[in-house]
Amino acid sequence: MAAPVPTALTLHQRSRVLELGYADGTVLRIPYELMRVLSPSAEVRGHGPGQGTVQTGQREVDIVDLEPVGHYALRPTFSDGHATGLYTWDFLWDLGTRLDAHWQAYFDQLAAAGADRDAPMAAPPKGCGSH
């Protein structure tokens, strides 16, 4: 079953949350940080299993632009310049309805990598297109 399409989108810059409203009254609030660290882009996820990059230093990230892509997705531009992820309605619905599980998976990923959530990101290796 496909996720519903939101009828309202609001960027809350002070709280750094994307709010999605739906026709049935459902409201989902997704923190920008979670959107950024779980970006569906190849830069974050890699080009195959095990090739992803743990994202850090995104607690204060903002969304500076939000572009619709057809009738199926959004392309946010984040304040760190990242703008390659396409956030489908299904992906956003999953993020918003399973926030706790996604946060836990992210914290588990940080722990497994021995990474600090607030550490600045290292520069991408040469040959891996940046933002």
What is the reported pLDDT for 65?
A: 97
66 three-state secondary structure: strand
Structure tokens at 125: 């290796």
Give dist(CA 81, CA 78) in Å, integer: 5
One digit per residue, pLDDT tens: the chain, 131 residues? 788 999 999 999 999 999 999 999 999 999 999 999 999 987 888 777 777 889 999 999 999 999 999 999 999 999 999 999 999 999 999 999 999 999 999 999 999 999 999 999 876 554 444 44
Structure tokens at 99: 């926030």
**Do 62 and 77 meet the contact criterion of CB atoms below 8 Å apart?**
no
What is the reported pLDDT for 26?
A: 97
Domains along the sequence of the chain with CATH: 8-113 (3.30.2020.30)
